[in-house]
Structure 1
């Protein structure tokens, strides 16, 4: 990680920047960013790079910007399908940065420190970081309805503490402390009760006979993998975000793969609890 000189800057604009297929990460990121924007009385804007067409151009920031960057956690890490976008299109240019990740009630493992490192490498000066619970992409039980009112209280407090740190004249002196291990650990591997690995990487959703042909699933797929002409065709990569499943108005999209269903049910059995997020300022 490159060395930077200490600096202090005036915040001119707060950005909520996020990848959020089912909306949880968006709520996490925008809640924090809006709190800071109000506390500092500066302009606020958003950049949603969930859909493929929104990842075609550079996400370009600079001095005076404070960027709250949010991604979901997949297998304990930043989604690997976003790494090329971050490497090629994300430009910090000395902006302040706050990495935030949302996880589905299990754990966030090394996702937060990985996102912090990405931001540092792309020219951001990180000031804080946080990990918060959102409803699990696979499940309607794990983290159901979250972030909820209790989470919003915590997210608001996080934003207030960041704003106060800036008001007190904080100067950058290295990457913000967040929880995680370095070197970054491998992706979480789902396993059955006999410790055999379950590989769901190539599993794709199928479409039931009750499909109404509305095409919403194709519109919301962050990988652009569902055919707009024939929504029953999933020709590209599936990241298991389940946007197509959760946003289908008639419940036609679903998974039938035995390994996927086993993994989902195992997660629901092991982690049906109220996990709590945490932040570092």
Structure 2
């Protein structure tokens, strides 16, 4: 059977994209097929209806936000029609924990008519930080990506009947992870937004990379929608003009950098 390979991802800073395209590239070589890419990072892409067929292999990845699949993606993800396509579910987290994100993504895909035959939790540089999991996924991660893809190929080649993969996680899912302040009280940083300093060149790059389409193109210091703290506008700004100054956010960032500095490794499920 000829399989079509589909690489599908939400990746504001490019880390999830690197993992998904790595897996898809190895699988595509085995099937001698071109990889078809669906990048749903920007809002206009999430307006397009999409469906697959039983001849497709879909490698789909999202970042982990607060231990879960980003809630801003749920409407789009639950609209995708699997139609018995095979799927590999991938989540990418910033070295703290992926909590219930992988099992949640697997369940969404299963409920949409996919058969999820493999899953993986990988590590990428944290969206809040330039030091936590710095420069990951790195060469070691990408070697694991290639091995994972080869294991998936072997599973498809040797299994008479492919089964839905079991992955780590809780059902019902845990609540979204919340940081705490210095008094130990949970704090809500969802409404925290980036500021803009006087180094801004008004190049509008932040407008084009915002996955929510929230930065006002007429005045890039203003938001016209929500901020999901993906890090794209900060990490991609050529003049380092974007920053956060909220004290609860900064305290949480520092805690993450200190508490989770030890290297985590990817977890694979086949």
- Aligned partner of 1:44 in structure 2 is 35
Q: How many Å separate the matches in 2 of 1:181 and 1:11?
A: 36
**Larger deviation: 21-30 or 190-199?**
190-199
The residue matched to 2:60 in structure 1 has which SS? Answer: strand
Q: Is the 8 A contact 2:3 2:31 kept in 1?
A: no
1:33 aligns with 2:62: no
- Aligned partner of 2:192 in structure 1 is 203
Q: Is the 8 A contact 1:21 1:243 kept in 2?
A: yes
1:59 positional shift: 2.3
The residue matched to 2:44 in structure 1 has which SS? Answer: helix
- Aligned partner of 2:87 in structure 1 is 97
> Normalising by the residue count of structure 2, what TM-score does the alignment of the two structures yield?
0.97
Q: Structure 2: which 5+ runs fail to align?
A: none
Q: Is the 8 A contact 1:191 1:197 kept in 2?
A: yes
Residues 54-88 of structure 1 deviation map (CA, whole Å, 9 limit, x = unaligned)? 11101221111000000000000000000011123
- Aligned partner of 1:241 in structure 2 is 230
Q: Is the 8 A contact 1:40 1:163 kept in 2?
A: no
1:235 positional shift: 2.0
Question: Paired residue for 2:257, among 268, 271, 277?
Answer: 268
> Normalising by the residue count of structure 1, what TM-score does the alignment of the two structures yield?
0.94
1:277 aligns with 2:266: yes
1:230 positional shift: 1.2
Question: Paired residue for 2:161, among 171, 182, 188?
Answer: 171
What are the equivalent positions in structure 2 for 1:136-147 lying under 5 Å apart? 136-147=126-137
Q: Is the 8 A contact 1:110 1:185 kept in 2?
A: yes
1:275 positional shift: 1.0
Q: How many Å separate the matches in 2 of 1:59 and 1:259?
A: 39
- Aligned partner of 2:124 in structure 1 is 134
When residues 210 and 170 of structure 1 are mapped into structure 2, their CA distance, relative to the original with a 3 A threshold, is farther
When residues 39 and 202 of structure 1 are mapped into structure 2, their CA distance, relative to the original with a 3 A threshold, is same
What are the equivalent positions in structure 2 for 1:1-281 lying under 5 Å apart? 10-88=1-79, 90-173=80-163, 175-281=164-270
The residue matched to 1:130 in structure 2 has which SS? Answer: strand
Q: How many Å separate the matches in 2 of 1:11 and 1:177?
A: 26
**Larger deviation: 125-134 or 36-45?**
36-45
Q: Is the 8 A contact 2:5 2:34 kept in 1?
A: yes
